[in-house]
Structure 1
Amino acid sequence: MSDSVTAGPAAWVNLPDAAERLGVSISKVHQMIREGQLLAVKHDGIRQIPAELLANSTVLKHLPGVLTLLRDAGYNDEEALRWLYEPDPDLDGSAALGLGGHRAREVKRRAQALGF
């Protein structure tokens, strides 16, 4: 029996708060998003970042690589977000949560397989 939980981030961070958490300027956050190092989508009408993608004062280590793989497979930002938060108990709940732990290599392997 599966839970009827909607897949998605547990919390969101707006861009100015992300800049503060990362210790960089807002311009640098915009650059990171443009360059595919970070993912931001409109949530409640404001461009925001899923909080789980920020680890303390950095971006999750494997996130930029996974985002590149997803973009290479033709995913746009919204599709990448859906893929990252698709429920998957084998990845600690979802690919986004798996990236923050010992499942990161499996997340990367699965993202890479999307291109084939």
Structure 2
Amino acid sequence: MTDLPPTPPERSLEALVGSWLTVPDVAERLGIPLSAVRRLLEDRELLGARIGERKVVAVPEQFLDEEVFRHLRGTFTVLADGGMRDEEILEWLFTPDDSLRVPGTPVDNLAAGFKTEVRRRAMEQAF
């Protein structure tokens, strides 16, 4: 009998993103009321997911980088128009892709100012 390599653990969205902020934490970080954060989520300027044991709504901390935050809505729209659900959009944004200009994730590339390339990739992915 041969030893097989261990099966890698399932990669959850929570682990893929890594650092999350709850809605109250986002409000504090941005210096805005909770209702304004909820509006950002409703208007899809930010995306969140239910994470943790209590399934609280949280936003990836990296989204709050000023450069990333400015470019999220259009990227979300492209991916959603292509049929992706919010969880799939988050997974795509945080999955490493070495073929991008900056090795790393699409969200890393947004932070580096490569919005056009990320959206072009999003269109390719979505359609």
TM-score norm. by structure 2 comes to: 0.78
- Larger % of strand: which? 1
1:35 aligns with 2:29: no
Structure 1: tracts of 5 or more residues without a match: none
User: CA 1:115/1:81 → structure 2, altered by over 3 Å: closer, same or farther?
Assistant: closer
CA-based RMSD: 2.2
How far, CA to CA, are the matches of 1:92 and 1:33 in structure 2? 28
- Larger % of helix: which? 2
For 1:17, the equivalent position in structure 2 comes to 25
- Where 1:47 maps in the other structure, the secondary structure is strand
Runs of 4+ off more than 2 Å: 89-92, 112-116
How far, CA to CA, are the matches of 2:103 and 2:60 in structure 1? 16
Offset from partner CA, 1:21-68 (integer Å, 9 cap, x none)? 112111111111111100100110211001111115x86211111011
Preserved contact between residue 68 and residue 111 of structure 2 (Cα < 8 Å):
no
**Which of 37, 46, 52 does residue 56 from structure 2 map onto?**
46
User: CA 1:59/1:21 → structure 2, altered by over 3 Å: closer, same or farther?
Assistant: farther
- Where 1:113 maps in the other structure, the secondary structure is helix
**Which of 102, 106, 114 does residue 95 from structure 1 map onto?**
106
Shift of the alpha carbon at 1:104? 2.3
Of structures 1 and 2, the one with the larger relative CO (CA 8 A, separation 6+) is: 1
Preserved contact between residue 96 and residue 103 of structure 2 (Cα < 8 Å):
no
Query: Kindly, what percent of the aligned residue pairs are identical?
Result: 35
Structure 2: tracts of 5 or more residues without a match: 1-7
Structure of greater Rg: 2
